[in-house]
Amino acid sequence: MYLDRLTCPNCEAELAYHILSRQFVGIRNGQAVVDGQTWYACSNREWECNWLVWEGAPAGRCFSCRLTRTRPDGDDTVALEKLAKVEEGKRRLLLQLGELGLPIVPWDVAPGGLGFDLISSLSLGRPVIIGHANGIITIDLAESLDDRREALRVRLGEPYRTILGHLRHEVGHYFQNVLLTDDALWARCRDLFGDERTSYQDAIKRHYAMGAPDGWQQGFISEYATMHPWEDFAETFAHYLHITGTLQTAAAIGIHLDAAVTNLRDTDVVPRESYRDEQVQQLLTDWEWMSQAFNRINRSMGFGDLYPFDLTPAVKRKLGFIHDIVTRAPLTTDEQRALALPAEAESA
């Protein structure tokens, strides 16, 4: 799927994404008819949003754009250009969450629902702290500037830093509260990630004064994950999305490893579009082989590894827990998804 395109790369036809049927459709004069219903190009299409909206959606905004609670002023075109980049990452995130069947309740439907404040520290002239609070994810649009993000990545000693990575991490905070629905699940979570009730303020101070403890690599996916159990969960959740999202793209393209050529093992490695009905071991084994292959491809272009991380047994157990709670979440049905959309339709 060409998630970030407005036109078909082959025939130049105008394309837009229809969320209920999860497909790209051709549009003419800003309209498409799907299942007998007319849909319209999102009013942010000039800012490269390629989703469709119901007739009468407030401000003509699609489901993704509607989740953006705060955005730069209409005359701040510099920030709006950065917004377009971040929105692209956000649409990719939302598509993946939908395909995993994870429920999304918008911020304007229920308190604590998912929303995004996408604002720029450059426009505001003050720092913007990337984070999550009560369903609202805040992203600093200035981080879409490559040199700025890269400087931060180096200063913080991170092997990987992207806007999509930020979005996947922050949405992990959101889903921890959504998916851990009873005491038994919280107990399992605390066993693996630690007790999230310990002081967060103390954890921040300790982390920035002393850094990650020696030997952290055995138990954690990143240094940042060592700071506090909330961050460990969000970091691990983000990796679950990195892994399933990349395997899904590989599956959609038809990439697989041919055992006869690679000589590394005696069966092919064939990524799947969904691992919902699989044990986590299948997911992790496929990823182990595919990530090595992707790393080699990156190196052959002189880049660093595509996936510069090691999955130790402890980290795999944490990923197993995430797989468990994601796949046991009730699969979002068309009706449920329609529920989320149609506050748009109802207000028509």
Binding site for Zn ion (CB under 5 A): 42, 44, 49, 51, 62, 65, 231, 234
Shortest CB 9 distance to Zn ion, Å: 21
Shortest CB 290 distance to Zn ion, Å: 27
**Distance of alpha carbon 261 from alpha carbon 258, whole angstroms:** 5
* Closer of 105 and 167 to Zn ion (Cβ): 167
Shortest CB 62 distance to Zn ion, Å: 3
* Closer of 134 and 333 to Zn ion (Cβ): 134
Tokens 């705060």 locate to 70
* Closer of 195 and 278 to Zn ion (Cβ): 195
CA distances from 85 to 18, 145, 197, 297 (A): 20, 10, 36, 25
Shortest CB 73 distance to Zn ion, Å: 18
Distant-in-sequence, close-in-space partners of 296: CB < 8 Å, separation ≥ 6: none
Cα-flanking dihedrals φ and ψ of residue 28, to 5°?
Answer: -130, 130
Helix axes 229-253, 77-99, angle to 10 degrees: 80
Shortest CB 294 distance to Zn ion, Å: 26
* Closer of 76 and 231 to Zn ion (Cβ): 231
* Closer of 25 and 270 to Zn ion (Cβ): 25
Nearest to 57 by CA among 3, 6, 105, 108: 108
Which two tokens mark 116?
């995004």
Tokens 């990349």 locate to 246
Distant-in-sequence, close-in-space partners of 27: CB < 8 Å, separation ≥ 6: 14, 15, 16, 41, 52
* Closer of 51 and 174 to Zn ion (Cβ): 51
Shortest CB 173 distance to Zn ion, Å: 6
- Helix/strand/coil (H/E/C) assignment for every residue in 139-164: EEHHHHCHHHHHHHHHHCCCCCCCHH
**Distance of alpha carbon 294 from alpha carbon 219, whole angstroms:** 24
* Closer of 27 and 62 to Zn ion (Cβ): 62
Shortest CB 302 distance to Zn ion, Å: 32
